[in-house]
Structure 1
Amino acid sequence: MRIGVFLLAAAFPGRDHGEVLTAAVDTAVAAERAGFDDVWIAEHHFMSYGVCPSATTLAGYVLGRTERIGVGTAVSVLSSRHPIALAEEAALLDRVSGGRFRLGVGRGGPWVDLEVFGTGLDRFENGFTESLDLLVAALTRPTVSADGAVFRFREVEMVPRPGGPLLPVVAATSASTARLAASRGLPLLLGMHVGDEEKAALVEDYARAATTSGRDPSGAVTTDGSGGARGVAGAVGIRGLADVAGVTVGDVGGAGKVGGGGHVAAGVAYVADSTGEAVAAMRESLPRWLAPGLAGYRPVDDRPYRPRDAAEYAELLCRLHPVGSPAHCADTMITTIRRTGVRHLILLVEGAGDPARTRENVARLGAEVLPVVREAFRLFPHNSR
């Protein structure tokens, strides 16, 4: 199992953007020191919810500031990125980090990013599958070309090539996306806005679709004898794929490209001496960030958008996730792993809105919570769904 940190570079009111980004990097360094397995960096545009517009860029800097910890994107938004450019960046980070980089991708939302970057609403609504297939092809084959509805270009050589298997995890909030990921043999990244039951349902949808497609229902990434994710070579719009050595990615260690070989689930974590104290702190701080942050989403389609009530959302996050005493946090994480079967958790630790308190939160989680969770699954390694 693996336990990581999830960084949004959340801009609480009154904080300078440079200070927010510096604090995010410092948190990643603190997470390595505290014994976390990896750090995952979010990407947002034009809003205070998160002030990192390029997860790969910040990941590169964090990789340079750390030595052991894995660093990933949660997520790089495919609807506003060219998949070949993203594959090049991912392979570059993989090479210069000695295999510590992980790639998480997602569809994103119908937000103003699509208008600003010129990719458009149709790409968001209809182009995700083609983008994902092209990304995987570029990460697994020495050459790639495209003749699809969205992308058309002649055969090019992929340079640099990844040093080993580098396949993305796919953010999923719907059964259809879970089934798509399953059909490609790619694990899921599950969000913090849903609880164990909803996560378990998506994992079950994935398992059924994976079984139908001849994939591993656990979400472990496998490749066929040609080295590519099975099914990619036959995807619409992709051609000119040469053979490379095949590999299987299972429950790998620190240098593994997908970490844990399976699904990843995000949550919020804040530890205090008592659960009441922790919940009270989050009730006070989270709405100050969430209210302006969630209001920053600006849709470009005709559907009405009403932001979540910030106070209600904060209550939900405290109820679903490890917010409490060390014992409560450990019990909550163990319960989530057992209920969902997801053995890779990433924890949003910035909820206090203060860099010093965030670093203290990371240190306490590392010292008082992570050892308890790891010991529980060391003694009972298969005690999950």
Structure 2
Amino acid sequence: MRIGVFLVAAGFPGREPGQVLRDTVEAVVVAEEAGFDDAWIAEHHFMSYGVCPSAVTLAGVALGRTARIRVGTAVSVLSTRHPVDLAEQAAILDHASGGRFTLGVGRGGPWVDLEVFGTGLDRFERGFRESLDLLCDALTRDTVSAAGEFFSFRTVPIVPAARLRPIVACTSPETVAIAAARGLPMLLGMHIGDADKAAVLRDYAVSAGGPPSPPGHIAAAVGHVADTTEQAVRELREAMPRWLEPGLAGYVPVDGRVRPPRDVPGYVDFLCETHPVGSPDRCVEMILRTAEATGLGHLILMVEGAGEHTRTLDNIRRLGAEVLPRVRG
């Protein structure tokens, strides 16, 4: 069982974004000391939900501060990036870190980012396959060229060349089918429970035409440990809505489409009920339950839910000392 930390660089009210970024790097350092296998950094633009606009940049800082732990992006938004540029940055981190970097990518959403970065709604709606294929070419070949709808250029060498396989965030049947057709592992989000995760894995296997055993898939979950389950749940119920209410409002559609309302307290209750939130015994139980229900062997735990940096570090250390050894055992 592989267990990592998932760091959103959450912009809780009253927290200065620059300090949040510094704290995020420190959390990776502490995760390495606590025995976690990997750390994953999220990317968001123009919002307080997450204040890191370049996951690859912050991953590079974290890799420079650590020696053993793997660091990945969860995820770099491919719809607002040139795939070859992203592949070049991934190659730098792969070589400079001695192979400790993992690139996670996602389609993103129909947000104002598309307008700001000039890629447009068409790139989001129709261009993900082309973008992903070009990214994979640039991550696995010595040269790359393109002659598609969104990218067209002559053959150029990839310097430095890398041999990397990205992981793909999958939140829709279409993206699951795209990842399966290319044999790429999935990153599953916190918003679905074990039964839905198992269903997505079955859909992937059907699309791939192969066995249901997951080829390196990862699932994200909230991870929060306290002396008692009641205490852990109380902390998240008090803290997370203060972050999620303004943070989720930062998703601004580029085309004026209406976003469905989110029941934030209900969502927090769902996270507390279905994820490893509670006493050490409860956290172990929930992680093993997810592994049994889904067959997944790799979870990444969002550890920032209490909204205070010192509590985040305490959470990471306690998970490392009181939960990880029992899960692995």
* TM > 0.5 fold call: yes
Letter in 2 for 1:187: P
Residue 152 (structure 1) aligns with: 152
Residue 317 (structure 2) aligns with: 363
Structure with the larger helix share: 2
Question: What aligned pairs does 1:227-246 form with structure 2 within 5 A after superposition?
Answer: none
State whether residues 70 and 100 of structure 1, in contact with CA within 8 Å, keep that contact through their aligned partners in structure 2. yes
Residue 189 (structure 2) aligns with: 191
Q: Distance in 2 between matches of 1:307 and 1:369?
A: 35
Q: Distance in 2 between matches of 1:136 and 1:329?
A: 36
Q: Distance in 2 between matches of 1:131 and 1:372?
A: 41
Residues paired across the two proteins, number: 329
Q: Distance in 2 between matches of 1:135 and 1:141?
A: 10
State whether residues 40 and 71 of structure 1, in contact with CA within 8 Å, keep that contact through their aligned partners in structure 2. yes
Q: Secondary structure at the match of 1:9?
A: coil
Give the counterpart of 1:276 among 214, 220, 230: 230
Residue 213 (structure 2) aligns with: 218
State whether residues 185 and 219 of structure 1, in contact with CA within 8 Å, keep that contact through their aligned partners in structure 2. no
Q: Distance in 1 between matches of 2:213 and 2:93?
A: 27
State whether residues 186 and 218 of structure 2, in contact with CA within 8 Å, keep that contact through their aligned partners in structure 1. yes
Letter in 2 for 1:335: R
Residue 66 (structure 1) aligns with: 66
Residue 35 (structure 2) aligns with: 35
Residue 182 (structure 1) aligns with: 180
Q: Distance in 1 between matches of 2:176 and 2:46?
A: 28
Tell me by how many angstroms 1:219 deviates: 4.2
Does structure 1 residue 325 correspond to structure 2 residue 279? yes
Q: Secondary structure at the match of 2:161?
A: coil
Q: Distance in 2 between matches of 1:138 and 1:66?
A: 27
Letter in 2 for 1:297: Y
Letter in 1 for 2:266: E
Tell me by how many angstroms 1:307 deviates: 4.0
Residue 57 (structure 2) aligns with: 57
**Unpaired runs of at least 5, structure 2:** none
Q: Distance in 2 between matches of 1:265 and 1:31?
A: 18
Q: Distance in 1 between matches of 2:263 and 2:245?
A: 7
Question: What aligned pairs does 1:1-385 form with structure 2 within 5 A after superposition?
Answer: 1-162=1-162, 165-211=163-209, 217-220=212-215, 262-375=216-329
Q: Distance in 2 between matches of 1:17 and 1:174?
A: 31
Q: Distance in 2 between matches of 1:217 and 1:92?
A: 34
Q: Distance in 2 between matches of 1:66 and 1:306?
A: 41
Letter in 1 for 2:84: I
Q: Distance in 2 between matches of 1:205 and 1:310?
A: 29
Q: Distance in 1 between matches of 2:78 and 2:243?
A: 26
**Unpaired runs of at least 5, structure 1:** 221-261, 376-385
Tell me by how many angstroms 1:301 deviates: 2.6
Tell me by how many angstroms 1:300 deviates: 1.2
State whether residues 141 and 158 of structure 1, in contact with CA within 8 Å, keep that contact through their aligned partners in structure 2. yes
State whether residues 214 and 296 of structure 2, in contact with CA within 8 Å, keep that contact through their aligned partners in structure 1. no
State whether residues 214 and 295 of structure 2, in contact with CA within 8 Å, keep that contact through their aligned partners in structure 1. no
Q: Distance in 2 between matches of 1:80 and 1:299?
A: 14
Tell me by how many angstroms 1:155 deviates: 0.3
Q: Distance in 1 between matches of 2:125 and 2:258?
A: 17
Q: Structure 1 length normalisation: TM-score? A: 0.84
State whether residues 27 and 313 of structure 2, in contact with CA within 8 Å, keep that contact through their aligned partners in structure 1. yes
Q: Distance in 2 between matches of 1:89 and 1:368?
A: 36
Backbone CA RMSD of aligned residues: 1.0
Tell me by how many angstroms 1:216 deviates: 6.3
Q: Distance in 2 between matches of 1:49 and 1:306?
A: 17
Q: Distance in 2 between matches of 1:129 and 1:358?
A: 37
Q: Secondary structure at the match of 2:266?
A: helix
Letter in 2 for 1:170: V
Question: What is the CA deviation profile of residues 247-304 of structure 1, one whole-angstrom value per residue up to 9, with x for unaligned ones?
Answer: xxxxxxxxxxxxxxx1000000110011011101100001011011001110013421
Q: How many percent identity over aligned positions?
A: 65
Q: Secondary structure at the match of 2:61?
A: helix
Letter in 1 for 2:181: S
Q: Secondary structure at the match of 1:353?
A: coil
Q: Distance in 1 between matches of 2:19 and 2:274?
A: 29
